């Protein structure tokens, strides 16, 4: 944590997403952590809101961090690697 104090101190928003993956229930959390000089994480959905695949649910400014935490299932094929740059609305994480 000494090298990453922003994980504890900076503004954050956690969005929990429940859905279905290969006919099995799945849950994931998207943690948006604002950069040190960035003020603002915009959330576009409220608790209980149903969203479709590809729906934009929030925005975070440049210099920030997003962590995606997914309930693991053995049938998953992870498509990204640690440290890989991803693009909102473009990068496929799991198939």
Which active-site residues does the annotation give? 64
Please name the residue that has the structure tokens 């928003």.
13
What is the four-CA torsion angle of 34, 69, 4, 82, rounded to 10 degrees?
-110
Query: Which residues, other chains included, contact 59 with Cβ-Cβ below 8 Å and sequence gap of 6+?
Result: 41, 42, 44
Residue 38 tokens read as 């960035």
Q: Residue 15 pairs with which residues in a beta bridge?
A: 30
């Amino acid at each position: 944590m000494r090298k990453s104090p922003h994980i504890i101190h900076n503004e954050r928003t956690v969005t929990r997403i429940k859905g279905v993956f290969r006919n099995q229930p799945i849950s994931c959390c998207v943690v948006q952590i604002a950069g040190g000089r960035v003020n603002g994480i915009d959330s576009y959905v409220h608790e209980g809101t149903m969203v479709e695949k590809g729906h934009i649910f929030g925005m975070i400014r440049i210099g920030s961090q997003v962590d995606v935490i997914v309930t693991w299932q053995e049938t998953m094929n992870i498509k990204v690697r640690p440290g890989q740059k991803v693009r909102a609305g473009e990068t496929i994480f799991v198939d």
